[in-house]
Copies of this chain bind each other. A is one copy, B any other.
Amino acid sequence: MIRGLTRAGLGDVGTDERLIALAAAEGFGAVDIDAAGLVGRLGAEGVNGLLRRHGMKIGAIGLPVEWRAGDDEFRAGLAGLTEAAAAARVVGCTSCCTYILPSTDHKPAPFMAAATRRLRVCAQILGAYGIRLGLEFVGPHHLRTAWRFPFIWTMEETLDWIGAIGEPNVGLLLDSFHWHTTGLSALDIERLKPEQIAHVHLNDAPAGPVEEARDNDRLYPGEGSIDLAGFLAALNRIGYRGVVSQEVLLPEAPSEPPERLIARSRAGFDRAFAAAGL
């Protein structure tokens, strides 16, 4: 597996170039950034040179399409999606991810139908560029009632939805925080095939009842109570060899400088990977 970083939890890192340099210095092999923005500034060759010099890849981009509102908002994002996909392709990134809020103000059944239709279009477009679409189920209990109606939040429901979307290039974004908050175990991961996983997030959670974990109150990997050793070992066992990116959502910006935070991340990854025997 390739260790990766997102910007979440690292404070103000500055440019993508700086993030890449800092991440590489601490042994990370991937960053999740806005590929199209960077390609826009440096050109494809510039980005590829930068990545090569640092032995780094882009782990995943975010899906730049609003699929949770109306059809007009959805359509407004499609030109941008083709451009994001083209940029990702040219720099060798093959994952594009979005998250599923576990509740919604829309009537859930028609919203599911509309979302299925929209994400199929996104998957088709991404597929033309050789890119996978990763869907992240979101576990924290408080979000299940944050909006009017329950939507979906379990891995099982998400896999079934992926089946309903019906495109070959759609998979899970598996986040350790959501794995934890939906009560999953290593056995649940072992039931997956590696190709069902489009991307992985690594985070930790404070000790305490799972029901009380807050989505934006996460800890650095290895600093909390999630069984990250079990999580990573199971991923390794099924043959997942892709990127595992830290994504520490925090209630407020951290006070330490990015260098320190990334060193802390490295220490957490080291601990968790070692505990997993990796």
Task: List residues of chain A with CB under 8 Å of any chain B CB.
Answer: 71, 74-75, 78-79, 81-83, 86, 89, 107-114, 116-118, 120-121, 124-125, 127-129, 149-152, 157, 160-161, 163-164, 166-168, 170, 193-195, 239, 241
Classify the secondary structure of A's interface with B: helix
Evaluate whether A157 and B110 lie within 8 angstroms (CB atoms) in the complex, with A166-B167, A168-B168 already known.
Answer: yes
* Distance between A121 CB and nearest chain B CB, rounded to angstroms: 5
Task: Given A121-B124, A125-B125, A128-B121, check contact A109 B152 (CB 8 Å).
Answer: yes
Say how far A61's CB is from chain B's closest CB, in angstroms: 16
Give the chain B neighbours of A109 by CB distance below 8 A: 108-109, 111-112, 150-152, 157
Q: Note all chain B residues with C-beta closer than 8 A to A151.
A: 109
Contact B86 A79 (CB under 8 A): yes
Contacts of A167 in B (CB 8 A): 166, 168
Nearest opposing residue in chain B for A150, CB measure: B107
CB distance from A145 to the nearest CB of B (A): 14
Q: Are B86 and A117 in contact (CB under 8 A)?
A: no
CA distance A6 to B118 in the complex (A): 33
Besides A75-B128, A113-B160, 17 new A-B residue pairs in contact (Cβ under 8 A), listed by A number: A74-B128, A75-B86, A75-B89, A78-B128, A79-B83, A107-B108, A107-B152, A109-B109, A109-B150, A109-B151, A110-B112, A117-B160, A120-B124, A121-B127, A166-B167, A195-B195, A239-B239
In the complex, what residues of B have CB within 8 A of residue A79's CB? 79, 82-83, 86
A163 nearest CB neighbor, chain B only: B117
> Can you pick out 5 interface pairs between chain A and chain B where the beta carbons lie within 8 Å of each other?
A107-B152, A113-B163, A121-B124, A168-B168, A194-B194
Q: What are the residues of chain B within 8 A of A170 when measuring CB–CB?
A: 168
Complex-state Cα separation, A151 to B239, whole angstroms: 36
Complex Cα distance, B60 from A31, in Å, reads 41
Which residues from B are CB-within-8-Å of A83?
79
Q: Which of A89, A118, A164, A170 has the most chain B CB atoms closer than 10 A to its own CB?
A: A164
Q: A75-B86, A168-B167 are in contact. Are A112 and B120 (CB under 8 A)?
A: no
List of B residues within 8 angstroms of A149 by Cβ: 108
A166 to B124, CA, bound (A): 10
For the complex formed, measure the closest distance between the CB of A161 and the CB atoms of chain B, giving whole angstroms. 4
* Cross-chain contact of A116 among B78, B116, B129 (Cβ < 8 A): B116
